[in-house]
A and B are shown apart, each in its own frame.
Chain A
């Protein structure tokens, strides 16, 4: 029983720190956190990581992964967060790639994996529909076979960064006769295909991340289907598992808490400090204590993986508790920073960089994290069934 890193792990930590210091410059940080420059800066950042061999660190080694232990992945994620650097945009590297290398044909792997890794292609995810959110299997976007093509008709919604995307990976209905989970196929669709319309959805942070994507008589080669027809649900479910084992955001929470402590330690005009206020200390401590627990919940899961075991239901707790804590720190950050000014979404550059504006953006954006990837209510249903053995009605 010990939580120390080995000398090799400490050396790796130093290497990651050095890389972040040298490559994630204040200039890049400013551009990556501004919506106007986000796309290009994200590509630039992923290319820097790819140059180091770290962009696709979770992939199998033969496709360009690193073969890192779970502990190394933890160190990497922690140092990334400590530097304030975002992880790669997940849709390519973390979401479609595992399906590609697990179920794709050799041709599909050769065509898509290298350009996904190097960020020469931008992916978006076509899962949710207006009538299929938490109940994803209710999706109705139709794919009708016509010779060597499918003809696609339907609507996808909440499609993050579809406005930048070159390709979309989609779940579509190829059969309506069986259970809802049957008859779904997994397609890769070129966003330049005629008949695709992307309409923006402005979210509560007043920014454009989300979109509605319409398909009207869109022709897609059958060769762009992953695996077998009507087996898409199986592949997507495996992908959701990848998504869920993505970590809990504990590094982000720790960085934010450090920032909150710094802000709260500033001396106000009246000569007092917020951090000396007993009500505030209690609230801050409540959040910190939960994050300290979450950190070790995550380490327990990673340690189990490193010892060759499979993570248990603790890993689905990570998504649940992790997102709750992200929102908790965003709330605290807002309470501490709101008074620092600059909370308008139309702020000029100086106000945009203010603590108040950052707090506003993160709080508003953070509303989504307990909804996407399977809402936390759905996560609770899953845990009730698989961890506690409770039967649904």
Chain B
């Protein structure tokens, strides 16, 4: 049993924190979010120079050889300042789908461009009626010769400026079946794609994509036909842990910022932080953050130890982070009083981000149900 960070992880965290301290003050972030892409291409290039994009990839693939704990260390720092560059969608989520692909030829073509940051892949999985179920895929893929014809719609695809989408489509099986799903790499400039950009409340630029008879060569399929589900489930589990690490970073910022504010804001001649009614609410924010941090450690260990309870542990983490992330941000707004509801104060931006993190891949209730279904047989 050992939960301490390695020396490398401490150095990594420090270097990320230092860069962000210089480049991600609230007013700097505001300017970044206003960019056309919704993030800073310059920062993305710096992430690449600093080697951060290589972290979760194996040395054989040209990466740093890191694991979920290394990625989480970075994501937690990102969460402290609400980084908007597409690190999670491109490196942690889509990047791992490629890195763990069984299509070696495709992998060797795509991997170098992902690691360099030159290409940004994004996982297009969610459909309007899917209720956040990973196996619900109504998008169809019909084989014609050496290619597949894809038809369907995907919602809320992160990073509207992605260079490629990884589209989940079904070639066989019932609409909710885990078998029959394949993953296809689609160039975002393919003329058969209709892309509608949606600006999300947390500043991210996402898109809805729609396509009919989109022709994709079978060489651009990540697994054998119809057997992509285990890959999706494994990669999404790990990516959700990293996303929750970001949330824990944001929650940590919120309870600290709120205590700091309460120690300076005076009413009735005293600092409001001296009121017991407020103190106890801040203690509960702290306690909820530590509970979530504990589940983050639990889920990381489950992945690194190869535990059979991995999916349970991840579901619990996502459920609790969703619930408490929102709760803590709501409390932070309340305790900041009138200032808390202004867009000028960073607090509200953390609320928006934590609400979106809760929603991605299904909210707290959905993951609680997922846990219950695995646990209570």
A286 to B368, CA, bound (A): 8
Query: B309 CB to closest chain A CB, in angstroms?
Result: 10
Q: A1-B297, A289-B368, A391-B273 in contact; A297/B2 too (CB < 8 A)?
A: no
Contact A320 B287 (CB under 8 A): yes
Q: Write the chain A residue with the least CB distance to B368.
A: A285
Q: A2-B301, A4-B305, A284-B376 in contact; A294/B276 too (CB < 8 A)?
A: no
Q: A285-B371, A391-B274 in contact; A296/B297 too (CB < 8 A)?
A: yes
B283: A residues at CB distance < 8 A: 320, 380, 383-384, 387-388
Contact A314 B290 (CB under 8 A): yes
B271 lies within 8 A of chain A by Cβ: yes
A307: B residues at CB distance < 8 A: 2, 4
B255 lies within 8 A of chain A by Cβ: yes
Q: A285-B372, A297-B291, A299-B3 in contact; A3/B298 too (CB < 8 A)?
A: yes
B333 lies within 8 A of chain A by Cβ: no
A377 lies within 8 A of chain B by Cβ: yes
Query: B377 CB to closest chain A CB, in angstroms?
Result: 9
A316 to B274, CA, bound (A): 20
Q: Mark B252-265, 1 if CB is under 8 A from A, else 0.
A: 00010001001100
Contact A261 B279 (CB under 8 A): no
Q: Write the chain B residue with the least CB distance to A293.
A: B291
Q: A2-B301, A388-B255 in contact; A393/B274 too (CB < 8 A)?
A: yes
A9: B residues at CB distance < 8 A: 1
Give the residue of B263, B280, B298 whose beta carbon is less than 8 angstroms from that of A380: B280
A189 lies within 8 A of chain B by Cβ: no
Q: A1-B304, A71-B1 in contact; A390/B262 too (CB < 8 A)?
A: yes
Number of interface residues of B (CB under 8 A): 46
Q: A285-B375, A292-B295, A300-B294 in contact; A390/B3 too (CB < 8 A)?
A: no
A286 to B376, CA, bound (A): 13
A282 lies within 8 A of chain B by Cβ: yes
B291: A residues at CB distance < 8 A: 290, 293-294, 297, 321
A303 to B287, CA, bound (A): 19
Contact B376 A275 (CB under 8 A): yes
Contact A321 B271 (CB under 8 A): no
A71 to B1, CA, bound (A): 8
Q: Write the chain A residue with the least CB distance to B324.
A: A293
Contact B290 A289 (CB under 8 A): no
Contact B305 A293 (CB under 8 A): no
Q: A1-B304, A284-B376, A384-B279 in contact; A293/B3 too (CB < 8 A)?
A: no
A79 to B276, CA, bound (A): 39
Contact A303 B286 (CB under 8 A): no
Q: Write the chain A residue with the least CB distance to B72.
A: A1
A276 to B319, CA, bound (A): 20
A390: B residues at CB distance < 8 A: 259, 262-263, 273-274, 279, 282
A284 to B373, CA, bound (A): 12
B244 lies within 8 A of chain A by Cβ: no
Contact A297 B259 (CB under 8 A): no
Contact B376 A261 (CB under 8 A): yes
A304 to B4, CA, bound (A): 8
Q: A275-B376, A390-B259 in contact; A293/B298 too (CB < 8 A)?
A: yes
A275: B residues at CB distance < 8 A: 376
B188 lies within 8 A of chain A by Cβ: no
Contact A384 B280 (CB under 8 A): yes
Q: Write the chain A residue with the least CB distance to B295.
A: A293
Q: Write the chain A residue with the least CB distance to B70.
A: A1
Query: A149 CB to closest chain B CB, in angstroms?
Result: 43
A391: B residues at CB distance < 8 A: 263, 271, 273-274
Contact B294 A294 (CB under 8 A): yes
Give the residue of A71, A289, A321 whose beta carbon is less than 8 angstroms from that of B287: A321
A281 lies within 8 A of chain B by Cβ: yes
B375: A residues at CB distance < 8 A: 285, 288
Contact B1 A303 (CB under 8 A): yes
Q: Mark A1-26, 1 if CB is under 8 A from B, else 0.
A: 11111000100000000000000000
Query: A165 CB to closest chain B CB, in angstroms?
Result: 35
Q: A261-B376, A390-B259, A391-B273 in contact; A3/B305 too (CB < 8 A)?
A: yes
Contact A4 B295 (CB under 8 A): no
B320 lies within 8 A of chain A by Cβ: yes
Which B residues from 231 to 282 make CB contacts under 8 A with A?
255, 259, 262-263, 270-271, 273-276, 279-280, 282
B282: A residues at CB distance < 8 A: 384, 388, 390
Contact B279 A381 (CB under 8 A): yes
Which B residues from 139 to 191 make CB contacts under 8 A with A?
none
Contact A297 B290 (CB under 8 A): yes
Contact B280 A377 (CB under 8 A): yes
A289: B residues at CB distance < 8 A: 295, 316, 319-320, 368, 371
Which B residues from 302 to 358 make CB contacts under 8 A with A?
302, 304-305, 313, 316, 319-320
Query: Could you name 7 residue pairs across A and B whose Cβ atoms are closer than 8 Å?
Result: A1-B297, A3-B297, A261-B376, A380-B284, A381-B276, A388-B279, A390-B282
| Chain A residues at the B interface, C-beta cutoff of 8 Å | 1-5, 9, 71, 261, 275-276, 281-282, 284-286, 288-290, 292-297, 299-300, 302-304, 306-307, 314, 317, 320-321, 377, 380-381, 383-384, 387-393
Q: Which 7 A/B pairs are nearest by Cβ-Cβ distance?
A: A3-B301, A296-B294, A384-B279, A293-B291, A388-B259, A297-B294, A1-B69
| Chain B residues at the A interface, C-beta cutoff of 8 Å | 1-5, 69, 255, 259, 262-263, 270-271, 273-276, 279-280, 282-284, 286-287, 290-295, 297-298, 300-302, 304-305, 313, 316, 319-320, 368-369, 371-372, 375-376
Known contacts A281-B372, A293-B320, A307-B2; can you find 11 more A-B pairs with CB under 8 A?
Answer: A1-B297, A1-B304, A3-B3, A285-B319, A285-B375, A290-B291, A299-B1, A303-B2, A384-B279, A384-B282, A390-B274
